[in-house]
Amino acid sequence: MKENGSIEFIRKYPSPNPKIELYEIGYWSQGFLVKGLLAKPLADGDYNALLYLRGGLQFVGAVRPSRIAQFASQGFIVFAPYYRGNRGGQGRDEFAGNDRFDAIYGADVLKQFCKKEKIHVYGFSRGGLMALWTTILRDDIHSVVVWAGVSNVSSMYIERVDMRRTLKRIIGGSPTKVKELYDERTPLYQISKIQAPLLIIHGFNDCNVSIEQAYYLENALKRESKDYETWYYPSLAHHYPPNENRKTVRALCEWMKSKGTY
């Protein structure tokens, strides 16, 4: 079996931004060859490292080159795993089951391009689960941003009637029948292991991931006396309008940088 986080191939990928170069990377995670997209500024510089963890499932919420380049243009080297079973990668997307290790070992891929002691982690929607697990299971995370993130998988099943059939297929049943499998995917029970400062971003009008998911996370962090901050937006939903989106990306990138450079 190939070493976790080892790179199998690197190939140039078309970039939407002339100041950012993109590469598609194949790497190994628990014996599966999975893929991801790396973005880095063309100009020389001492850039921070950012692990970008996408939302959605399979083609929904797939990694977009323009989005990864947007974050890189804020002064980061960014790596965004596709997760196993996506875009020709081996294995099966498990919605924060063993595929969480694709994020965890994605951090090792990122470190090969940005020689930093610690890295920053960003997770959107389902990526919130992946970001939290990465932070729980690694000790080299410098800061974490969870934007419209899922934190409780059982509650996600209850909230999203349209996703119940998919979740039952992927996880193996409903929370009433296989509660332990939902709990295994829910990071709230291991929040005590998080050491990095965490920023929660969420819109009150989010119909994809309810604001309750942010409250679950905030309350768990509060109980454990963790370092966290919340940015709640009363009038915004899951996807922000372009201007608000750009402003929020700039602000969260500055928040990560304010935590120091390593």
Give the model's pLDDT for residue 261.
54
Is the Cβ–Cβ distance between 163 and 154 less than 8 Å? no
Could you tell me the pLDDT band of residue 57, with boundaries at 50, 70 and 90? confident
pLDDT of 210-239, one tens digit each? 999 999 999 999 999 999 999 999 999 999
Query: How is residue 201 written in tokens?
Result: 């971003």
d(Cα 199, Cα 218) in Å, to the nearest integer?
A: 10
d(Cα 79, Cα 48) in Å, to the nearest integer?
A: 12
* Percent of the chain topping pLDDT 70: 98
Fold adopted by 7-151+186-257: Rossmann fold (3.40.50)
pLDDT of 157-178, one tens digit each? 999 999 999 999 999 999 999 9
Give the model's pLDDT for residue 260.
65
Q: What is the pTM of this model?
A: 0.96
Could you tell me the pLDDT band of residue 115, with boundaries at 50, 70 and 90? confident
Distance (Å) of CA 163 to CA 205, 209, 211, 239: 19, 12, 17, 18
DSSP category for residue 223: H
Catalytic residues: 125, 238
Could you tell me the pLDDT band of residue 203, with boundaries at 50, 70 and 90? very high
Report helix angle 100-111 to 126-137, nearest 10: 60
d(Cα 171, Cα 262) in Å, to the nearest integer?
A: 38
Q: What ranges do the domains of the chain cover? A: 7-151+186-257
The DSSP annotation for 147-209 comes to ES----HHHHHHH-GGGHHHHHHHHSS-TTT-HHHHHHH-GGGGGGG--S-EEEEEETT-SSS
